[in-house]
Amino acid sequence: MLVLKEVKTSAGTFRLGPISFEMKREYLIILGPSGAGKSILLEVIAGFRKSEGKIFLNGTEITHYPPEKRRIGFLMQDPLLFPHKNVIENIKFGAKTGDISYLIQKLKISPFANREVRSLSGGEKQRVALARALACNPHLLLLDEPFSWLDRETKEIIETEVKSISEELNLPVIHVTHNFEEAFSLGDRVIILKDGKIVQDGTPEEIIKSPANEFVAKFTGNPNVYAGTLLLEGEKTFFVHENLKFFMGRGINLKEGGCKIAICPQDLIISPFPFESKDRENVMEGVISSLSFMGNFYRVVIEGKLKITAFLSPQEVKRENITPSTKVFVIIPPEAIRVIERI
C-alpha cells in the first residue's frame, strides 16, 4: 500500500502539492492536463526528486530512500531499452529471480527474445520495457503515459495486458495520462491533478456523475456546465438559468443562491417525438446541430433554448432515428444535474 502525506516539491516556479492520498492494490490513474505535475509526482514517488512530506510503501517510510532501494518499477513514455543489450539481457538487468519465463510467455516476447532491441517495433519495445520492470518484482508500478505514442490497437492490447498482469500479480499500478477516456476505461480509481494539486479523487463513475468543479467537468469531456441560481419552492429545488428552470429534486439539502451545475451527457434522453415527463420543466425542444461518432458512442449537440451535449449509444441513435438538423426533445433527468460550484 502506498501512502503520501503532505508531499510537496517544486520545479522552477512550479509547485506540486501538498499531495496526500492512500492507495491499495488498485489501478490508480493520475489524470490531468499538460503541466499539471503528473510526471513530477511520479518522479517524487520513484525517488528522483526530493520532496517534503512523507511517503510510505507497504508500511515502510521510503521518503529518503534512493530509487534503487524503493522497489518501484517505472515505465516512461519511451521504452528506454538499453541499446547495448539484447532483449533477454534487458529483461534480466535487474531481475530478482533467474526465471523470467512467465513474463516472456505472458507478454508474448518469445518470438523476438534473442533480437537486438533496435530491430523491435514500438509495441515490442514497450513489452520488453514492461517485462524488464516486472522482472524486478516491484511493489508498485508507475506508468508515465508509456503507450501514448503507440497506434490505438497496439495501445489497447498492451494496456489490457498490463491491467491483467497487475491483477494476477496483485501489483498496484499508478498510471499517468491526460486522456480521460483511457483513464475511465482502465482505472479503478482516478485522481485529477491541476496546477500541482488534487482537484478530485474518486471512481470513474463518481467523477463522471459528480465532477468537483467546472474544470473537471470540461476536462473529462462534459461541456454541459451552466451558471445560474438555485431556487427553493417548498420541498422542491430548482436551478434557474436565464429564462429556463430545471427541477433538481425534492428535499435536497441545498441553499438558495448562485451556482454552477453540470449535466451528465450520458444521462440525457433524446427522442424525435414529444414525451410525457413527470417533471415537465426538464423537457427541452431543440435541433441537432452536430452528430459525431466517437468510437463507441455518439456525441450529439442539441441547440434550443439551451445548447446541450448528449452521449448516446449507437443503438439509441439508430432506434430514435437521430440525424443532423432534425428536431428532437431532450429530457434532463433531475439526477443528471449536479451542483459543482457555488458562486
Partner 1 sequence: MVFFLITPVLKLILGTAPSQLFFTMLEEEVLQSILLTVRCGLGATAFAIVFGTPLAYLLARFDFRGKSLLQSFIDLPLVIPHSSAGIALLLVFGRKFFVGKIFDRIGITFVGTEWGIMVAMAFVSAPFYINVVREGISSIDPRLEKVARTLGASPSKVFFKITLPLSWRSILTGAVTMWARSISEFGAVVILAYHPMTAPVLIFDRFESFGLSYAKPAAALILIVSFVIFLLVRITFKNARSERS
Scanning 35-176, the segments in alpha helix (DSSP H) are 38-46, 87-92, 101-106, 122-135, 152-168
Report the nearest approach of partner 1 to the CB of residue 254 (Å).
48
Q: Is 136 in the site for partner 1 (CB under 8 A)?
A: yes
Residues with Cβ within 8 Å of 64's Cβ and at least 6 positions away in sequence, in order, are none
Residue number, 63 or 229, with CB nearest to partner 1: 63
Residue number, 51 or 222, with CB nearest to partner 1: 51
Do the beta carbons of residue 174 and residue 115 sit within 8 Å?
A: no
Do the beta carbons of residue 194 and residue 36 sit within 8 Å?
A: yes
Residue number, 94 or 122, with CB nearest to partner 1: 94
Q: Is 45 in the site for partner 1 (CB under 8 A)?
A: no
Residue number, 93 or 293, with CB nearest to partner 1: 93
Do the beta carbons of residue 223 and residue 236 sit within 8 Å?
A: no
User: Which residue in 83, 98, 111, 295 binds partner 1 (CB under 8 A)?
Assistant: 83
Report the nearest approach of partner 1 to the CB of residue 160 (Å).
24
User: Which residue in 31, 72, 109, 336 binds partner 1 (CB under 8 A)?
Assistant: 72
User: Which residue in 18, 35, 53, 94 binds partner 1 (CB under 8 A)?
Assistant: 94
User: Which residue in 132, 155, 178, 260 binds partner 1 (CB under 8 A)?
Assistant: 132
Query: Alpha-carbon distance 7 to 3, whole Å?
Result: 10
Report the nearest approach of partner 1 to the CB of residue 47 (Å).
8
Report the nearest approach of partner 1 to the CB of residue 86 (Å).
13
Grouping H, G, I as helix, E, B as strand and the rest as coil, residue 36 is coil
Q: Cell numbers for 258, please give them.
A: 448562485
Query: Alpha-carbon distance 24 to 199, whole Å?
Result: 20
Q: Is 12 in the site for partner 1 (CB under 8 A)?
A: no
User: Which residue in 52, 58, 82, 293 binds partner 1 (CB under 8 A)?
Assistant: 82
> Total residues at the site for partner 1 (CB under 8 A)?
23
Q: Cell numbers for 29, please give them.
A: 490513474
Q: How far apart are the first and last CA of the chain?
A: 38
Residue number, 77 or 266, with CB nearest to partner 1: 77
Report the nearest approach of partner 1 to the CB of residue 94 (Å).
3
50-69 positions binding partner 1, by CB under 8 A: 66-68
Tell me the C-alpha to C-alpha distance, in Å, between residue 224 and each of 140, 204, 214, 286.
37, 18, 9, 15
Query: Alpha-carbon distance 277 to 11, whole Å?
Result: 54
Residues of this chain that interact with partner 1 (CB under 8 A) are: 46-48, 66-68, 70-74, 76, 78, 80, 82-84, 93-94, 96, 132-133, 136
